[in-house]
Every structure is written in structure tokens, then in C-alpha cells.
Amino acid sequence: MASDTQGSVELKQEPPQRIQIYPTPSNEVPPFWRLKYEREAKKYWDNFYKRHQDRFFKDRHYLDKEWGQYFSGAGKKVVLEIGCGAGNTVFPLVATYPDIYVHACDFSPRAVELVKTHKDFIETRVNAFVCDLTAEDLTKQISPASVDIVTMIFVLSAVSPEKMSQVLQNIKMVLKPNGFVLFRDYAAGDLAQERLASKDQKISENFYVRGDGTRAFYFSEEFLRKLVKQIGFDTKEHSIHCKQVENRSREIVMNRRWVQAVFQLNSLSYSSITETEIKLQLLSKESSKSDNRVIESATDSEIDVSEGIIEMFGMSNSRNEIIEVNVRDWSFKIKVLPKENQHTCKSTGLMLWESAHLMAHVLATNQHIVAGKKVLELGCGCGGICSMISTESADLVVATDGDEKALELMSENVSSNLQSSSLSKLIVKRLEWGNKDHIEEIKDLKSGGFDVIIGTDVTYVAEAILPLFATAKELISSNKNINQESEPAFILCHIFRRVDEPSILSAASKFGFRLIARWPDESVTASSHSIISDWFKEDTEDECLPSKALNIMYFTIS
């Protein structure tokens, strides 16, 4: 009898089958859907904020720990937060650093609205606006070369790789030559990338779409370094961070990876920007010469740029709104461009700037500055509140601007806010800085020149500084007095943006102006130590100062 095993085949025990949690992807996202996700990127992020509001991301309080040295230190900082979302970067910065001013942009209107309705939102410290940096020019919203720090926190990853260079070029134009870009974003190999790769959600190399239609790119060191180098940035800091997150119940260890870096414009890159600006100045100069609009005594670098200044901004909107402005015992109802259109308007004169608020307060509480004097306001815009307050005690006030639309609104505002006795002392006149004919017309109004010239927020474009001082020199009185404060004065109130103080002082000196006092810094000369500080004796700083970034410069003729 044969045994039971005779003739049988020996069976080998198969190893247990391994369970693959994330199956190997078979296909990438089809071309139709790739185009749809690209074309409707704004809609998907808008839906994201509609669904999650401000509850999804946590406030980024680690910014002070990681990059505190960039935000602190001497001087006031201007920060641009790219992809601000619901303000999780903006408001921790505002709370931690009282002297910074933040521009916050996002291409999701709902995200920007969340920032504006946040309990800590203050217009004098945060400028929130909608902007798609892959398609819109950022310099229409922010003055070129005016930003100290750009923060990009998990935002560039939401942009398709082929459009990232456009975003960085946009940032490059508003960043100061010594400014920094603080960057944190997803790194290749992150757990989230592995999950997306397993679900056929790959768009291209390291680029994926999530289930809600939003997209994420995962940066390799090589890709990021090459990208920023091509745009003209030097890498000051760069590191890959890895954090293991353990799910003990499932016995899973998850790797979260992100890249953190600091970039700065290299000198060669900034030189190329400067060369472009110089070429534009030369072109403008030739045009100005042919029109005989340059002051005869001006040097080759002096040009008439009053028209060119406003061309930096987009088209204006014809609709206007009325705002109420209260300054001490004065109450004005001023017609201006609506706030939602102010960042894309053709002219900067169709709105009311913070510097005008401060200077109006100074004049309202210190009428001796203009009492019995002839006053000229340069770049009054549509508001003209400084000129209107000056009419209380000045002998004559001339409010000027180069933009006709601003002057039209200014005339309406003057007529609706002043009594006849004050109206008789105020003249509204067009004046383009450097325009010889315009200057002569102003001189004809009153011989002998003006005792006080005021300019609020008129120093934001570098090309305009020389024509500004040249015009002021032509129109200021030549009379001198023993008392410095009684001498003819040119008073500037502004926030330093594209133009720094040394550039302003250089232009002033060129035309014979001497800075004798500045605020809030210490006085320039011992004999003038109280000229500006005395203006604020009756006030605490918070009562009259709309922004801590504001400055006042007090010039006399040498």
C-alpha cells in the first residue's frame, strides 16, 4: 500500500501578502482638469475660505522666534505678506512689533475680507487688498522699492511652477535693495506629497491637486535655489526641516518636511532695476525739454515727471464717496474715490492720505505757523484739509496739484466745507512741478513768494524729488527773519517709502534748502530744538498720530 505522501508534490508556504496602503498611481491628472485647476485657482481658494473661514490655519507666532532679527532693530519696517489668507501671519506681526506697517495681499477676495473684518485690523497699520501676483502688477498697489521685508509662508506652493518666476519678479520690484524675503513652504518628501501621489492627483513633477481643488508644490533644494538665482536673489539662509509626527493608536510615524529660507536681492540684480529707471528718466527728460517744462536753472537730472507719476497707477473709477474727517474743532465732509478702488486708481490725489491728517492736526492746534502769512500747498490732492484749516488765520492760501481730476474734487470740497470769509482767501490752482508756465502763474497771484510751503506725502517717487524742491525754491519767499521759526519754511510730512531721507536731503541742499528740524527724531540744530516738538505739547502721541511711520521735515532757505 502506497503511503499518503507518495507521488505528491511538496507545497511551499507562500509569504503573507503585503498590504499596500497607498496604491501605485496609474495616471497623472488629465490635461482637461489641469487646465481647469489652473484657470479656476482663485475660485477654489475662495471656496476654501468660504468653507473654513479663519478656523483652518493657526496664528504663526513662531515668526518672532525664527526671524525676529529681521523685524526688530532700528527704524520702522514696511512688510509685505504674500498670500495673507485670513491674517495668520499679519496679526501676530502687528501685535509683536508696534512700529511695522503691513501690506497684505491674497488673490482670494474672501481671504482679504476676513483680514479686514478681523478684530485687530487697523487701517493705519494694515493695507489689505486683492491681487493675483501671477497676472497683476504689484507696483500698482505698492510703491516700487518701498518694502523692507516680504513674507511668503506656505504660499508659493499654491502657484504652478511655470508662474513662480513671475511672482518673484513682482516681489522684486517693490523690495528695497537691502530688503529680505522670508520663505517657508512644503519640501519634497513630505507625508502629504506621498498621500497625494498615491491617489492619482499628480499634475506635474512635485505638483499635486488636493481633493478640494487647491494645489500644492513640494520644493526640492535644487529647484528652489535655481529659481531664486534666476530672478536675481542671493540665498542668505536655507534649511530643510523634518518633524516626525507619531499616531500611537495606529502605530504610524509620519514625516512632515518643510523648507525655510531667507533671500536678498543681489547687487547686480538691483543695478539692473536702477538702469531701467535711469533710462525711463532720460526718456522723460527729453520729452520734457521739447515741451519747455523744465525749470531753466535745473540740472540734467531734473525732469518734469508730474504726469509720469500718476501713470504708475491703474485706471480710476468715476464713482466717489463722501468721508467725514474730524480735526479738533473742524469737521469736513470730503468727496474721495471709494476705498475699494483707491489701490488701482489713476491718480494718488483722489484719496486722503495719513500725512494730511497729521499735518491738518498740527495746523489746527498751532495756527501761529500760518497766521498772517502766505501759504502754498503742493500736491494738495482732492482733500485739501491742510489748506482749508490754514484759511482761519493765513492772509492767503493757494492749494495746488498737478492732476486736474483731483483739483475738480478739491474745488467741490472747498465750496461745500468753507464759509464765504474763508473761501475768499483760498485759491485752487494747477501746478505741475517743474512746469515753468504753471510756476509763473502762481507767482502772479502774489508777488514776493510764499512764507510757508506745505507738502504732505509728496516724496514717494524718486524722480519727483528734484522737481519738487526746484519748484519750492522758485516759489518760496526770500525774506529772512531773526527768529528761525518766522523764516520762510518748507514743511514736508510723509511716510518714507521709495525715497529715503538722505535722497531728500541731497535734493534739498541742491536748491538751497537746509533741514533745521525733524520729527519724531531729535532736532538738527540746538537753536531749533523746540520748533516741531512744541507743536505736540498739548497732545499725547496716540491722540494725533494716525501712523507711527509718519515723519515731519522742516526746511528753511540757507
Q: How is residue 197 annotated by DSSP?
A: H
Give yes or no for a contact between 292 and 286, defined as CB atoms under 8 angstroms apart: no
Report the pLDDT value the prediction gives residue 262, as an integer from 0 to 100.
96
Q: Is 284-557 in the same CATH topology as 31-265?
A: yes
Give yes or no for a contact between 212 and 37, defined as CB atoms under 8 angstroms apart: no
Report the pLDDT value the prediction gives residue 544, as an integer from 0 to 100.
58
pLDDT at 368 over 60: yes
Report the pLDDT value the prediction gives residue 351, as an integer from 0 to 100.
67
Q: Is this structure's pTM higher than 0.85?
A: no
Q: Which residues of 123-140 are buried (b: 16+ CB within 10 A; e: fewer)?
A: eebbbbbbbbbbebebbe
- The alpha carbon dihedral of 353, 359, 361, 367 has a sign of negative
CATH for 284-557, options being 3.30.479.30, 3.40.50.1170, 3.30.2130.10, 3.40.50.150:
3.40.50.150
| CA gap 393, 500 in Å, rounded | 33
| CA gap 126, 326 in Å, rounded | 21
pLDDT band at 468 (very low <50, low <70, confident <90, very high): very high
pLDDT band at 247 (very low <50, low <70, confident <90, very high): low
Report the pLDDT value the prediction gives residue 338, as an integer from 0 to 100.
59
* Cell (9 digits) for 340: 475699494
Report the pLDDT value the prediction gives residue 388, as an integer from 0 to 100.
94
Report the pLDDT value the prediction gives residue 383, as an integer from 0 to 100.
86
| CA gap 35, 42 in Å, rounded | 13
Amino acid at 238: H
pLDDT at 488 over 80: yes
pLDDT at 56 over 50: yes
Summarised one tens digit per residue, pLDDT across range 129-182 is 999 999 898 988 898 889 999 999 999 999 999 999 999 999 999 999 889 999
Share of the chain above pLDDT 70, in %: 77
- For the chain, the domains span 31-265, 284-557
- Secondary-structure class of domain 31-265 per CATH: alpha beta
Polymer length of the chain: 558
Give yes or no for a contact between 453 and 373, defined as CB atoms under 8 angstroms apart: no
The alpha-helical segments, DSSP class H, found in 56-89 are: 62-71
The alpha-helical segments, DSSP class H, found in 27-96 are: 31-39, 41-52, 62-71, 90-96
Give yes or no for a contact between 93 and 33, defined as CB atoms under 8 angstroms apart: no
- For 409, other C-beta atoms within 10 Å of its C-beta total 23
Report the pLDDT value the prediction gives residue 178, as an integer from 0 to 100.
83
Summarised one tens digit per residue, pLDDT across range 509-535 is 999 999 999 888 755 655 555 788 888
pLDDT at 119 over 50: yes
State the distance between the two ends of the chain, measured CA to CA, in whole angstroms.
130
